[in-house]
Amino acid sequence: MRILGIDTSTKTGSVALIQNEVVLAEYTHSVTQGHSSDSTSDSWLISAIDRILQDGDETANRLKIDGIAVIIGPGAFTGLRIGVSTAKGLGYSLGIQIAEVTSLDALAANIPNGFVCPIMNAMREEVYAAFYENGKRKSEYMLIKPEDLAQRITGVRDQGSEKSGNHQIVTFLGDGVRLWEEFFATRLSGMVSFAPAHNSYLKAATVASIGMKMLLEGKGKKPEEIVPLYLRVSNAEQQRK
C-alpha cells in the first residue's frame, strides 16, 4: 500500500511516500529567517510532492498512490489550510481516500513508550498539548497556558503514582520545548525530561504510517469530508467578532 504523507502544520513541513512500512522518499522543508512563519507560504509543497513521487517510484507510474495522510491540526492556520487543500485536490483527482492525522498524535508517535506530552507553540503565550501513555492518548487536545499545563501534569502524575506506586517522568517533545523548557524544568523539577531535538519534529513518514493504519481500518474519508482542526479562531475571525 503506497501512502503519501503531508505535514504543513509548523515552520518545518515535510512530505513522504511509504509503501507498507518502507519509506520510499521523504523531503523536509524549513523556513529560514526573514520569511513567513508558515512552512507553506511558498510553492514548495507541490514541488516537493512531485519530487517525492519521482524519487519514490520504480515503475514510472507516479500517480500510483493508494491513499493520502495529512496533518489537519492543530498548528499554523495558513499552513494547515494549504496542506489540507492540497491533499483534498489530490484526493479528488486520483479518486482516493484521505486519513486525518493530528499533529500531536504524530509527534507522540516519536516516543511510543512512557508518559509523553507533546507541546507545540500556539503563540500568545500558549501551547497545543495532549497526554499520551505508551502510545495511547489519555486526554483531549488542549490549547493551554504553560502554567495551567504544569498544574494538570502534576495532578495526572499524582493520580498515576497513587494507583501504581510509581512516580512517572513526563517526557516533553515538540517545537514548544525550545520556548518553554526552562519554565517546565523549574516548575516541574524532577518530574520531567526533554526529548532529543530530532524527536521534536513532525515526520511525514510517521504521518503516512499512522494514516495507512487508519485507511486499513476503514477510517479514511472522502476529500470533501476533510477539514482542518483548529483549537482557536483566527485573528481575522476574532477581529470580525
Q: What is the CATH number of the domain that holds 140?
A: 3.30.420.40
Longest dimension (CA), the chain: 58
Are residue 236 and residue 221 in the same domain, yes or no? yes
Are residue 117 and residue 83 in the same domain, yes or no? no
**Considering the chain, what percentage of its residues have pLDDT values greater than 90?**
72
Sign, CA dihedral 79-81-82-85, equals positive
Are residue 53 and residue 134 in the same domain, yes or no? no
Asked if pLDDT for residue 75 goes beyond 70, the answer is: yes
> Which domain covers residue 162, as residue numbers?
111-199
Specify the pLDDT at position 55.
Answer: 77
Q: What average pLDDT does the structure give for the chain?
A: 87
113 Ramachandran zone, left/alpha/beta (phi>0; psi -120 to 50): beta
Are residue 212 and residue 145 in the same domain, yes or no? no
In three-state secondary structure terms, 15 is strand
Are residue 23 and residue 46 in the same domain, yes or no? yes
Specify the pLDDT at position 167.
Answer: 64
Q: How far apart are CA 7 and CA 2, in angstroms?
A: 17
Specify the pLDDT at position 226.
Answer: 97
Specify the pLDDT at position 11.
Answer: 87
6 bridge partner residues: 15, 70
- Specify whether the CB–CB gap between 40 and 79 falls below 8 A: yes
Higher-scoring residue by pLDDT: 237, 10: 10
With a threshold of 0.75, does the pTM exceed it? yes
Read off the C-alpha cell for 64.
500510483
Are residue 152 and residue 194 in the same domain, yes or no? yes
> What's the pLDDT tens digit per position in 93-147?
999 999 999 999 999 999 999 999 999 999 999 999 999 999 999 999 999 999 9
Are residue 12 and residue 70 in the same domain, yes or no? yes
Asked if pLDDT for residue 159 goes beyond 90, the answer is: no
Question: What percent of the chain is helix, strand and coil (3-state, nearest 5)?
Answer: 40, 25, 35
Backbone angles phi, psi at 50, to 5 degrees: -60, -45
Residue range 228-240: mean pLDDT, rounded: 69
Which residue type is seen at 168? Q
Lowest mean pLDDT among 31-40, 150-159, 204-213: 31-40
Are residue 90 and residue 120 in the same domain, yes or no? no
**Cα-atom radius of gyration of the chain, to the nearest Å?**
18
Q: How far apart are CA 170 and CA 149, in angstroms?
A: 12
Specify the pLDDT at position 158.
Answer: 66
Specify the pLDDT at position 58.
Answer: 59
- Specify whether the CB–CB gap between 50 and 206 falls below 8 A: no
Which residue type is seen at 10? T
Are residue 124 and residue 180 in the same domain, yes or no? yes
What do you get for the CA distance between the two ends of the chain, in Å? 46
**Considering the chain, what percentage of its residues have pLDDT values greater than 70?**
83
Which residues, 6 or more positions from 194, have their beta carbon under 8 angstroms from its beta carbon?
Answer: 171, 172, 173, 177, 181, 185
Residue range 237-241: mean pLDDT, rounded: 53
Are residue 122 and residue 184 in the same domain, yes or no? yes
Q: How far apart are CA 221 and CA 103, in angstroms?
A: 18
Number of domains composing the chain:
2
Chain-centroid distance, C-alpha 80 = 10
Are residue 205 and residue 193 in the same domain, yes or no? no
pLDDT-derived band at 162, boundaries 50, 70, 90: very low
Are residue 95 and residue 214 in the same domain, yes or no? yes
Asked if pLDDT for residue 64 goes beyond 90, the answer is: no
> What's the pLDDT tens digit per position in 42-62?
588 999 998 888 876 655 555
Closest by CA to 76, choosing from 52, 35, 41, 125, is 41
